[in-house]
Amino acid sequence: MSSPDLILASASPRRLELLSTIGVSARACPVDLDETPYPDEPARDYVVRLAREKALSGQQALSTLLPVLGGDTALSLDGQILGKPESDDQARAWLRCLSGRSHQVISAVAVTGPAGLLEACVISDVHFRLMAESEINAYVASGEGCDKAGGYALQGRGAMFVSRIEGSWSGIVGLPLCETAQLLARQGVTPWSGDNEPERGGAL
């Protein structure tokens, strides 16, 4: 098995999948952090802080020479941070609030490496159509959004409630790939390019 290009300071399978789509191999090494927002902490500051703390904590805990990537994503509605719902009742309440409205999804990435600590933050607008109560109940019962910010997954059934997005699709899912690729390149990790495309066999 080949060595990974970097360490992902997270247990998120979505971030591993996103990294693999740009040709970056990562090893997941979750860090244990208190993710409680500070009193009156703006959503953007909260997300950037957690991404930074994950990267730095991962680097310190592992004492690795590989770059370490930390990422975090949060949903903001009227300035309120919506994390992962703690119960089905909370998930239903949040989806009712999101119905027929727009909200922001804030995704931050931080990478430690030879260039020091580099970070980026992307804010995307997500617009929901009106949702029937029966749809909300059925979606929460499916369990898809139980571990997702705001209680829904854009990459799953939750996409049927989204009328449009303005911003980064991958950022909403969990990792803004455009910005991530640029940060990784500055840390010496080369994402996919035509120059490193694996050779294909000839025609039979």
Predicted local confidence at residue 199, as pLDDT: 46
198 located within any domain: no
In a domain, 45, yes or no: yes
CATH number of the domain encompassing residue 14: 3.90.950.10
* Nearest Cα to Cα of residue 169 among 160, 161, 178, 157: 178
**Domain for residue 203, yes or no?**
no
Q: What is the DSSP string of the chain?
A: -PPPSEEESS--HHHHHHHHHTT--EEE-------PPPTT--HHHHHHHHHHHHHHHHHHHHT-SS-EEEEEEEEEETTEEE-S-SSHHHHHHHHHHHTTSEEEEEEEEEEEETTEEEEEEEEEEEEEPP--HHHHHHHHHHTTTTTSGGG--TTTGGGGGEEEEES-HHHHHT--HHHHHHHHHHTT-----GGGPPP-PPP-
**Phi, psi dihedrals of residue 22, rounded to the nearest 5°:** -105, 20
Q: Residue 160 sits in which domain range?
A: 6-193
Answer with the residue of higher pLDDT: 1 or 102.
102
The token duo for 65 is 């020479």
* Residue among 72, 78, 88, 89 flagged as catalytic: 72
pLDDT tens by residue, 150-179: 999 999 999 999 999 999 999 999 999 999
Q: How many domains is the chain partitioned into structurally?
A: 1
**Is 202 within a domain?**
no
Which pLDDT does position 197 carry in this prediction? 58
Residue 202: pLDDT band with limits 50, 70, 90: very low
pLDDT at 200 over 50: no
Q: State whether the Cα torsion 186-188-189-190 is positive or negative.
A: positive
Q: Is 78 a catalytic residue?
A: no
In tens, the pLDDT along 10-43 reads 888 899 999 999 999 999 999 999 989 999 999 9
Please provide residue 24's backbone torsions phi and psi, each rounded to the nearest 5 degrees. Answer: -110, 125
